[in-house]
Amino acid sequence: MSKNRIILAGITTVYLLLAACSKKQAEEIVPGGAVPVGTAVTYTNFVQALFQTKCAFCHSPGTNTTATAAWTYNGYSSITSIAAEVKQAVLVNKTMPLTGSLSSAELQSLQAWFDQGTPQ
């Protein structure tokens, strides 16, 4: 394949990926940024994505790790049923997630969620 075709294929791929994103997706709150000021932090608009990207790798049902023996992430109730332990491990001790740290914006938003009573 010629160099020009490879470049054209790359540009086309990037264009198609960008075109596939909707405005709604671009506006959704995702881990990595703080929830906008004045917006309540909820499981639906922030925490779910955070736990799916930062915790589910080790703590999801079906994974055969010691992490799932300690706690298995399986949606909202699985977090709220042990909210004090999750808060302690993530916000106080900062021992989780093992695979990396949370940004200060993620930590602030997660703290706000706990402070607001873990709304769904």
Residue 34 in any domain: the answer is yes
Residue 67 in any domain: the answer is yes
Residue 70's domain comprises 27-115
Tens-binned pLDDT, residue by residue, of the chain (120 aa): 577 677 766 576 555 444 444 434 434 444 556 677 778 999 999 999 999 999 988 888 887 777 777 888 999 999 999 999 999 999 999 999 988 889 999 999 999 999 999 999
In the chain, the number of structural domains is: 1
Residue 11 in any domain: the answer is no
Residue 10 in any domain: the answer is no
Q: How far is it, in rounded angstroms, from Cα 91 to Cα 102?
A: 10
Report field, pTM of the whole predicted structure over 0.95: no
Whose CA is closest to 30, among 62, 52, 61? 52
Residue 12 in any domain: the answer is no
Residue 95 CA, chain-centre distance (Å), reads 17
Residue 35 in any domain: the answer is yes
CB burial readout 32-69, b (16+ within 10 A) else e: eebbeeeeebbbebbbbbbbeebbeebbbeeeeeebee
33 with 11: CB under 8 angstroms?
no
Residue 104 in any domain: the answer is yes
